[in-house]
Amino acid sequence: VIAETIYALSSGQPPAAIAILRISGPAAAYALESLTGALPPPRHASLRSVRHPSTGELLDRAILLLFPGPDSSTGEDLGELHLHGGRSVVNAVLDALGTFEGLRNAEPGEFTRRAFENGRLDLAEAEGLADLLAAETQSQRRAALALAGGALSRRVEDWQGVLLQLAATVESLLDFADEGDVAEELPASWTASLNALVTELERSLRSPPAERLRDGVRVVIAGPPNAGKSSLLNWLAGRRAAITSAIAGTTRDLIEAPTAIAGTPFLLIDTAGLREGADQLEEEGMALARESLGAADLVLWLGNPGDRPDPVRSILVASKADLYSSEERRPADIHVSAETGQGMDALIALLVERARALLPSDGEVAINKRHRDALSECVSDLRLARSSPDLLVVAEHLRLARAALDRITGRAGVEDMLDRLFGSFCIGK
C-alpha cells in the first residue's frame, strides 16, 4: 500500500507568532517544492516564498525544513513550514495543500502513529509522549520524558534478554530429548536466573503507579464540622474552591481541587464535617466523606487525635492556630491557621515529603495499568514455568511470558490499544 501524504497544523491555534504545518508521506517533498519553488538541503532551515500552486499568488514568506525519510520523526519524508501565525495565512496554505492529489488532513495522533508503525518509537515511548503533552507539573514532566525516552522500553528489553536465555536452555534440553536421550534436569543456575527475574518484575509491580502521578496524590481533608476544612482547602489550592462559613455543616458534596505544590501534583478533596445527629442531606455528605477516606492516599485530619481514621496515612492537623496561645494548643503533627497562614509552610513541606514517597521517584520508571497488567501476566507465566515438571509446558509458558512483555512495547496484539492511544493525541501530533 502506498501511504497517503498527511498534513496538519502542528502548533497551537492561530493567531500566534508562528504556525508550524507538518507534511508527512511520499508526496511531501513534491508538494513543498510546488509551493516554494526549490527545496533546501535536508535539515537546513531556509527562507522561502510560499505561493499558491495554481494561481502563483504569494501566500507568505516562511521557513522551510525538510527531513527525508527514514531518518525523520515519522520515518517518512517529512516537511515543516514555519509560517506567520495568522489565521488567514494558515488557512491559505492549508487550502493550497488541499489542492494536491494524494494529500489529506491528518487524523489526531496520525504523525505519531506513523512513527510507531515505522519503528521510530515503540508503544511505551508513544505513551510517554502522550503523558508529556498532558504534563502539568514538573514531576509529571520528568516521568513522561523518561518513558518517552525509552526508560521502560530498555528495561523490557533487558527482561526479554533474560527470558530468551531461559528459553534457549529449555529448547536445547528439548532437542536432546528428541534425539532419544534421557531428558536432563534444568540446571540450578536456570532456576536462580528465573527467580531473580520474577523478583525484579515483582518489585516493578510494587512501585508507585503512574496513575497517581497523572491524577495527583489524593489528599482528603476531614474532621468535624466547622473545623476549618474548607478554609484549609482554599488556602492550599490558592483559590476559593469551597464555600466557608461559621455555620456548621456548610460543605456537603466532595469538593476536588487539583493543585500543584512544589512541582508535585495533588488532588485535594474537601469533605462534609463528620458528626452525630445531622439532617439527611448532611448524612449523605458524610457518607461521601467516609467513602473518600477509604480511597485517600493521605488524610489531613482536623479532629480529635482519638478519632483519627487511619494513623498511617493521616496527618493530625490542629486548625485555627491563631485562636490559641502555645500553652492552649492541642497535641498535633502540625498547627496551622488559614487566617494568618502560620504553620502552612511546615504543612506543605510535610505534604510534599509524604507525597514523594507515594509517587514514582525521579530515577524510577512509572508503571501504568497497562504495563502492570502485562507484567503481572508475565510473572504468573514465569511462576507456572517454574513449577512445571514438563519441559514442553515450561517452554510454552516462557513463550507466553515473552508475549506479555511484547505488549508493553507494542510488538504484539495491541491493535485496539493503538486506536485508543493515538486517538487521544491532538491533530498534528
Ligand X SMILES: Nc1nc2c(ncn2[C@@H]2O[C@H](COP(=O)(O)OP(=O)(O)OP(=O)(O)O)[C@@H](O)[C@H]2O)c(=O)[nH]1
256 is an interface residue for ligand X by CB under 6 A: no
- Taking residue 189's Cβ as centre, other Cβ atoms within 10 Å add up to 9
Contact window for Mg ion (CB under 5 A) among 145-153, 215-223, 224-232, 389-397: 224-232
Question: Which of 226, 314, 368, 409: binder of ligand X (CB under 6 A)?
Answer: 226
Helix axis angle, 391-409 to 151-178, nearest 10°? 160
Q: For residues 302 and 374, which CB has a smaller minimum distance to ligand X in the complex?
A: 302
253 is an interface residue for ligand X by CB under 6 A: no
228 is an interface residue for ligand X by CB under 6 A: yes
Output the smallest distance, CB 233 to ligand X, in A: 8
Question: Which of 74, 153, 251, 319: binder of Mg ion (CB under 5 A)?
Answer: 251
323 is an interface residue for ligand X by CB under 6 A: yes
149 is an interface residue for ligand X by CB under 6 A: no
Quick one: cell of 234?
482554599
Q: Is the dihedral of CA 147, 126, 139, 373 positive or negative?
A: negative
Quote the DSSP letter at residue 153. H
Cα 137 from chain centre: 12
Q: What is the DSSP string of 376-429?
A: HHHHHHHHHHHH-S-HHHHHHHHHHHHHHHHHHHTSSS-HHHHHHHHHTSPBT-
Contact window for Mg ion (CB under 5 A) among 23-31, 38-46, 137-145, 221-229: 221-229
**Cell numbers 502552612: residue:** 344
292 is an interface residue for ligand X by CB under 6 A: no
337 is an interface residue for ligand X by CB under 6 A: yes
CB 370 within 8 A of CB 185: no
Question: Which of 36, 231, 292, 314: binder of ligand X (CB under 6 A)?
Answer: 231
Q: Is the dihedral of CA 114, 119, 124, 128 positive or negative?
A: negative
Residue/partner pairs of 314-317 with CB below 8 Å, 24 or more apart = 315/347, 315/350, 315/351, 315/354, 317/223, 317/232, 317/347
Binder of residue 153, out of Mg ion, ligand X, none (CB less than 5 to 8 A by kind)? none
74 is an interface residue for Mg ion by CB under 5 A: no
Output the smallest distance, CB 197 to ligand X, in A: 51
Output the smallest distance, CB 106 to Mg ion, in A: 48
Output the smallest distance, CB 309 to Mg ion, in A: 17
Q: For residues 188 and 247, which CB has a smaller minimum distance to ligand X in the complex?
A: 247
Binding residue count for ligand X, defined by CB under 6 A? 23
Using alpha carbons only, give the angle 349, 361, 129 rounded to the nearest 5 degrees. 115
Question: Which of 4, 107, 284, 339: binder of ligand X (CB under 6 A)?
Answer: 339
Residue type at 394 in one-letter notation: V
Q: Which residues contact 114 (CB under 8 A, 6 or more apart)?
A: 3, 6, 24, 74, 75, 76
Output the smallest distance, CB 227 to ligand X, in A: 4
**Cell numbers 483559590: residue:** 239
343 is an interface residue for ligand X by CB under 6 A: no
250 is an interface residue for ligand X by CB under 6 A: yes
Contact window for Mg ion (CB under 5 A) among 59-67, 81-89, 245-253, 411-419: 245-253
Q: In 322-368, where does DSSP find H-type helix?
A: 344-358
Residue 198, H or E segment? helix 188-206
Give residues 66-85 in contact with ligand X (rule: CB under 6 A). Answer: none
* Distance in angstroms (rounded) separating the CA atoms of residues 328 and 325: 5
292 is an interface residue for Mg ion by CB under 5 A: no
271 is an interface residue for Mg ion by CB under 5 A: no
Q: For residues 19 and 299, which CB has a smaller minimum distance to ligand X in the complex?
A: 299
- The site for Mg ion (CB under 5 A) is made up of 229-230, 250-251
- The site for ligand X (CB under 6 A) is made up of 225-231, 244-246, 248-251, 272-273, 319-320, 322-323, 337-339
